[in-house]
């Protein structure tokens, strides 16, 4: 099809097809069409938005990266500064929360807000400084448009963060209480004459003490991180790095505290009734269940948050045109 349309002049039927492909994120199709018809990069839809702006509106990062790679810096600035029918430039478009934006596949309102901030910061880097203060038909600059359109998402992100932090704080506080008490009620008790633990020189006792201390310190750290989330001011930019970082540290240390608490429990159980393996082994196996459940429920969220905050990001510039 690209070979047929290349020498032709009347190819208006391609414009709706390319815009539909942009909406669906079909960057391979767009790449081949633009090789045959490079001038289509300046095509506009009914809102007078070009393909570059429409890719931003639809939050199609692969299409955006394709344009970023194919266009020179001067072309990117020129095409990003073009105003649409409502006098919105590319940064205004990035500040809108379009129904076409793909946010349903992102977990949690806080991560959705983080993704929206990443888009706004990315587009902000490619436009001229003067554009950041430009007014649209509503007499709003891009940042004001972003605040207006994302006000509800900020509230939902705050609610999601606080509910998650509150639940995890309760768990962390319980672990602190248990592990602090366990440090002074050691298995086997103390020697009546010396005051030292009876099983002081056993390796399993060392494992118990070390795991108990790690669990206590990590759960304390997680509670402090979650308290930091609960007392945060919840400004828009906090969702970019500050709040996700606190959540990552809180969930990571909570996972460590749960895992080491099970290690301490298993060590203490083995010390006291090591001669009855038919009881010890099943109990140790059962102790793995809470750790497994936590990994199953929270680990995917933790991984997604780490990748979204500290990964290479969605704007990796590795979408290259095909020869």
The 3-state DSSP class for residue 186 equals: coil
Listed range (2-16, 98-112, 147-161, 180-194) with the worst mean pLDDT: 2-16
Beta bridge partners of 197: 190
Pick from 298, 273, 270: nearest CA to 285: 270
At 126, the pLDDT band (50, 70, 90 cuts) reads: confident
Rg (the chain; Cα; Å): 28
Per-residue pLDDT at 142: 93
Q: 284 with 270: CB under 8 angstroms?
A: yes
**Contact assessment for residue 142 and residue 91, using Cβ atoms and an 8 Å cutoff:** yes
What pLDDT sits at residue 164?
A: 92
The 10 Å CB-count burial string (b at 16+, else e) for 22-39 is bbebbbebbbebbebbee
d(C-alpha 127, C-alpha 120), whole Å: 11
Determine the pLDDT at residue 244: 94
CA–CA dist 189, 170 (Å, integer):
30
């Amino acid at each position: 099809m690209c070979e047929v349309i290349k020498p032709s002049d009347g190819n208006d039927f391609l414009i709706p097809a390319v815009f539909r492909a942009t909406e669906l994120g079909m960057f391979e199709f767009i790449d081949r069409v633009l090789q045959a018809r490079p001038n289509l990069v300046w095509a506009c839809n009914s809102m007078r938005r070009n393909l570059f702006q429409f890719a931003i509106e639809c939050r199609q990062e692969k299409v955006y990266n394709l344009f970023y790679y194919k266009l020179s810096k001067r072309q990117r600035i020129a095409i990003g500064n073009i105003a649409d029918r409502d006098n919105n430039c590319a940064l205004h478009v990035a500040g809108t929360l379009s129904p076409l934006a793909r946010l349903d596949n992102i977990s949690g309102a806080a991560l959705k807000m983080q993704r929206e901030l990443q888009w706004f910061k990315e587009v902000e880097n490619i436009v001229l400084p003067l554009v950041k203060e430009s007014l649209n038909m509503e007499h709003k600059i891009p940042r004001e448009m972003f605040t207006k359109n994302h006000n509800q998402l900020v509230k939902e992100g705050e609610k999601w963060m606080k509910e998650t932090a509150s639940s995890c704080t309760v768990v962390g506080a319980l672990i602190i209480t248990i592990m602090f008490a366990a440090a002074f009620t050691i298995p086997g008790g103390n020697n009546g004459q010396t005051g030292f633990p009876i099983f002081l020189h056993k390796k399993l006792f060392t494992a118990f003490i070390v795991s108990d201390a790690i669990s206590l310190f990590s759960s304390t750290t997680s509670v402090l991180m979650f308290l930091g989330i609960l007392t945060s001011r919840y400004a828009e930019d906090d969702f970019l790095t500050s709040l996700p970082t606190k959540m990552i540290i809180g969930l990571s240390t909570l996972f460590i505290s749960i895992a080491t608490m099970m290690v301490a429990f298993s060590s203490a159980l083995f010390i006291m009734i090591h001669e009855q393996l038919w009881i010890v082994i099943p109990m140790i196996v059962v102790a793995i269940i809470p750790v497994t459940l936590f990994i199953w429920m929270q680990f995917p969220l933790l991984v997604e948050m780490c990748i979204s905050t500290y990964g290479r990001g969605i704007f990796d510039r590795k979408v290259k045109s095909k020869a």
